[in-house]
């Protein structure tokens, strides 16, 4: 079976940045929908999850999620209540909202008050790939490894790429399409369940 899914892009809290790889990816892919920016309640985790649901309501057929930064945390929260199945998710440079972030980002107190904590650590109900940076100012690598382990994600360590955004010198990210293709292979060729003995 060959799948032709819609790619649902879930940005982080900074929403749409013109030079960001997610924005560039959306222009390159034929079947791509981006969760639109919020006009109000921009820090509300609940409002972000509702926006994901609204975006999905307009999509027919199979979906692959491509999330970045706090968008990865939105996926972890959304997976607890998902109203419809998705094929899988690419989670790039997750933002660890439980660890103090650099100046210019919301504080832990603000994020906690807006429903971002605790970070869900349940295994995701769909295949996923987590791409992590070794020098991400928003998430120590060991924390990213822990998210991958708990969410059941295949971990891809990218090396020192910062937060994988324009501020860290990254615009286009060709590897995104490669990882989406690998995710589709995971979906089309699922690992066999171990045989039950006895």
* Nearest residue to 87 via CA among 7, 143, 19, 154: 7
pLDDT in tens, 164-198: 999 998 899 999 999 999 999 988 876 544 444 43
Q: Considering the chain, what percentage of its residues have pLDDT values greater than 70? A: 94
CA distance 88 to 187: 7
**Would you state the pLDDT for residue 197?**
41
**Would you state the pLDDT for residue 20?**
94
Query: Mean pLDDT, to the nearest integer, of 66-81?
Result: 96
**Domain assignment present for 178:** yes
Query: Mean pLDDT, to the nearest integer, of 128-147?
Result: 98
**Domain assignment present for 144:** yes
Q: How confident is the model at residue 104 (pLDDT cuts 50, 70, 90)?
A: confident
CA distance 14 to 43: 10
**Would you state the pLDDT for residue 196?**
44
pTM here is 0.92
**Domain assignment present for 121:** yes
CATH number at residue 76: 3.40.50.1820
Q: Considering the chain, what percentage of its residues have pLDDT values greater than 90? A: 77
**Domain assignment present for 102:** yes
Domain count, the chain: 1
The 88-94 sheet, strands edge to edge? 32-34, 6-10, 63-69, 88-94, 128-132, 154-157
List residues bridging with 94 in a β-sheet. 69
What are the tokens at 102? 């650099």
**Domain assignment present for 195:** no
Q: How confident is the model at residue 151 (pLDDT cuts 50, 70, 90)?
A: very high
- Residue 145: CB atoms within 10 A of its CB come to 15
Residue 123's domain spans which residues?
6-187
**Would you state the pLDDT for residue 1?**
46
3-state secondary structure of 181: helix
Rg (CA), the chain: 16
Q: How confident is the model at residue 91 (pLDDT cuts 50, 70, 90)?
A: very high
Query: Mean pLDDT, to the nearest integer, of 32-60?
Result: 94
**Domain assignment present for 1:** no
**Would you state the pLDDT for residue 191?**
57
């Amino acid at each position: 079976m060959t799948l032709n899914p819609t790619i649902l892009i879930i940005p982080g809290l900074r929403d749409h940045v013109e030079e960001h790889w997610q924005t560039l990816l959306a222009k390159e892919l034929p079947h791509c929908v981006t969760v639109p920016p919020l006009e109000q309640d921009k820090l509300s985790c609940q409002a972000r999850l509702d926006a994901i649901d609204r975006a999905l309501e307009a999509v027919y057929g199979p979906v692959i999620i491509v999330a970045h930064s706090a968008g990865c945390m939105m996926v972890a929260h959304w997976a607890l209540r998902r109203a419809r199945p998705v094929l899988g998710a690419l989670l790039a440079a997750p933002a660890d909202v439980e660890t103090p972030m650099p100046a210019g980002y919301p504080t832990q107190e603000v994020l906690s008050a807006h429903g971002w904590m605790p970070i869900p650590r349940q295994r995701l109900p769909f295949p996923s790939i987590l791409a992590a940076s070794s020098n991400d100012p928003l998430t120590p690598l060991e924390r990213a490894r822990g998210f991958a382990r708990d969410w059941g994600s295949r971990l891809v360590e990218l090396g020192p790429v910062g937060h994988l955004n324009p501020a860290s010198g990254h615009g286009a990210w060709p590897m995104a399409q490669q990882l989406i293709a690998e995710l589709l292979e995971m979906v089309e060729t699922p690992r066999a369940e171990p045989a039950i003995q006895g």
